[in-house]
Every structure is written in structure tokens, then in C-alpha cells.
Chain A
């Protein structure tokens, strides 16, 4: 696999749009392409873990979530103007007209969350618009756990967003 450019190109042509679109929803247009390249490299390095075509989308979502969350954390560590940056990222989200405002609020509130599992859960539910059940299945946690963590997030988000107003 490594270094086989033609095979990599064929796989990127098939799945790259999915990964880029997913990264753009989380990070905005600026860093999405770089994140997608990184996510794809990680996916190719772990191709042996892949468990079949039916699971490929969920598998790519998990890997791109990890990359995006790492990049969000790095932005915070760098002292980037965190809330403004994430807010701008949310503003560039063009697809999924259903709840742009909700997504933006969720991304802004995400800045206050340190727990990785909760952050991934929030991405799936508020950015990818999955049901709690879908997100719980993807993360390998119970629906009750997902529900508890999301309730905690909403409470924290209300405090953060209320504080900004």
C-alpha cells in the first residue's frame, strides 16, 4: 500500500470527498484539506483494521474525528483565538442547511469540553446530525451513556454561551 500512488489516488478519488466534507464541517474550509490528507494517511496506515465495505464510512468518520479533534485541541494549545476561530469555521459550513445555528453554537461550546469522548459525541450529534443512537453505536457506548454525556454538554454549553452573550 505504502507508496503505491496509483492505488492511493483511486482510493482518494472514491473516498476523499467524504473525508474532506467531514473535516470541513468540523474545522471550516481553511484546515479541512490538510486534515483530510492526514486522516487519509492514518486510514491507509491502518488498512489492516478495516472490517469490510459496509463499515468503511463509519471507520473513516472515526479516523477523521480523531484528526479534527486533535487539530481543534492544537489550536487551543497554540493560544489561537479559539472561540472566534471555531465560530468562523462554523460560518463556512455550507452544506446541511438544517441547523447551522445549532451547529455553530455547539462548536463554540465545544471549546469548554476537555473530555475526548464527549467531544466526539458532540461532533456526531450536532455537526454530523446523527441520532444519539447512531452516535452511541459508532463510539461503542450505551445510549444511556450518550444521553448522560449530552445532557452534561448542553448544561455546560448553556453556561458558556450565556456567558458570551
Chain B
């Protein structure tokens, strides 16, 4: 690069991390457009670092680094959209509700069927689970699965501003276990580790049970899904 050649994107990225080459500095000194661009990018970087995306991303990245469990929940946006039309037509009473506060309802769509309100029956491999939530003023809903060893995995996180469907569904794959699905309602992102700690403190780790868990930071509603044998 010389003073006539504009720097590459990588040169700009190096400059944002304060490791620009001397050539970059000389070019920016002479080029108004690149100087303006660098200033704009510095502003974007400052906003990014001050925002909540790094905390949210850290949860997601940590979850991707965790070894996979034998049960795999496969998020399916298409399935969720297909289920949404059906669920909103029915509008049944919530399946899991605690007086006051947020609550959730579960719907299950079998491999070839329409989604139905979950009645507590064992799930089968291939069944898709859809969640409807009433956040009761909490702005953030985070879905965790908890296996029979109380290992927690972050499945999904989204902002919520009223009752509605979570924007993903989950399809069960693998062998049966004591799977539980929790929706955590909070103002700030909740990590898998943080939720696992809360489960242990609340003595809520027993397989097959999904009691409500409430802390100063969040309210969690769960369902023990009792997977059955594969079809």
C-alpha cells in the first residue's frame, strides 16, 4: 500500500486494534475519505463494545465449545413457523402455569401430524416441540435443555415483548433420557453456567422433574419431557 492505494479491510481492522502499519498511518493522514471511514468504524466499534452482544455471544460460543450430549435438540425455524399458524388458531390454555409471573405452554408435533398441546405423554424420536411464552414484562427469554446429569445447554435466546411463540422449534434425535426444557425469563442474558448453578442451588437437578426456579435475576419455567422409546 502507498499513499495512493486505499488500505484493505484487514488494514482497517488492524488499525481498529491499534496495530496499523506505518503505511496505513501515512495514507490516512493524506486521505480524507479513509480518515472519515476510520472514524466511523471506531464509532461502530465503541458502540459494539458498549452493547450487550458480546455477553450474548459469549453464551452462544461457550455452548458451541461444550461437548455434545447424546440427545440432540435440533432447532427448526421452518417447523416453528408451520406450527405457529396452527397454535394461534387454537389458542388453548397454557399447559404449564404458575399463578402470577411468566408462564409457558408446550406444543408437540409428531413426525407426520399437526402440533398439539402437550399432555405430558412420553415424546418419541422425531417429535418437534414448540414453546409459547407469556413473559410478564421480562424482555428476554432463553431456552435451555437439561439432561439427566443436570448438564445445561443453551438452545435459543430471543427478545420478547408480549405473549407469543418462541421463534424456533426443537426436534428430538437420539436415545431416550431424562430431558427437561426450561424457559428462563430475565432482564439480562443468563448463561448456561449461571442457570446450572441456580438449578443446583434450588435442588432441582433430579431427572424427570422440572420445578420452577426463581432467583433475584430470573424466573425459570420448565417441563420434564419424559422421552419414550424410539419409534
Contact = CB atoms under 8 A, between A and B. Distances in A.
Contact of B9 (A8, A12, A25, A45): A25
Interface string A84-97: 00000000000111
B45 A17 contact: yes
Contact of B65 (A10, A18, A45, A56): A45
Interface string A1-34: 1111110111011111110111001000000010
A53 B8 contact: no
B61 A40 contact: yes
B60 A18 contact: no
A22 B33 CA distance: 20
Q: How large is the interface on B (under 10, 10 to 19, 20 to 34, 35 or more residues)?
A: 20 to 34
B contact face: mostly helix, strand, loop, or mixed: helix
Given A17-B49, A41-B64, A129-B8, A12 B58 contact: yes
B9 A129 contact: yes
Contact of B61 (A8, A18, A134): A8
A131 interface: yes
A130 B62 contact: no
Q: How large is the interface on A (under 10, 10 to 19, 20 to 34, 35 or more residues)?
A: 35 or more
Contacts of A134: 8, 10
A44 B17 contact: no
Given A9-B54, A12-B57, A57-B10, A131 B5 contact: yes
A3 B65 contact: yes
A9 B189 CA distance: 12
B193 interface: yes
B59 A5 contact: yes
A9 to B, nearest CB: 4
B191 interface: yes
Contacts of B88: none
Contacts of B19: 53-54, 57
B201 interface: no
Contacts of A95: 37, 40-41
A18 B41 CA distance: 10
B8 A130 contact: yes
B6 A98 contact: yes
A6 B194 CA distance: 12
For A5, A20, A21, A33, the residue with the greatest tally of chain B CB atoms inside 10 Å of its CB is: A5
Interface of B: 1, 5-6, 8-10, 13-14, 16-17, 19, 33, 37, 40-41, 44-45, 48-49, 53-55, 57-62, 64-66, 191, 193
23 contacts: A3-B62, A3-B66, A3-B193, A4-B62, A5-B58, A5-B59, A6-B58, A8-B57, A9-B57, A10-B54, A15-B17, A17-B49, A18-B13, A18-B17, A37-B57, A38-B64, A40-B57, A57-B13, A95-B37, A129-B6, A130-B9, A130-B10, A134-B10
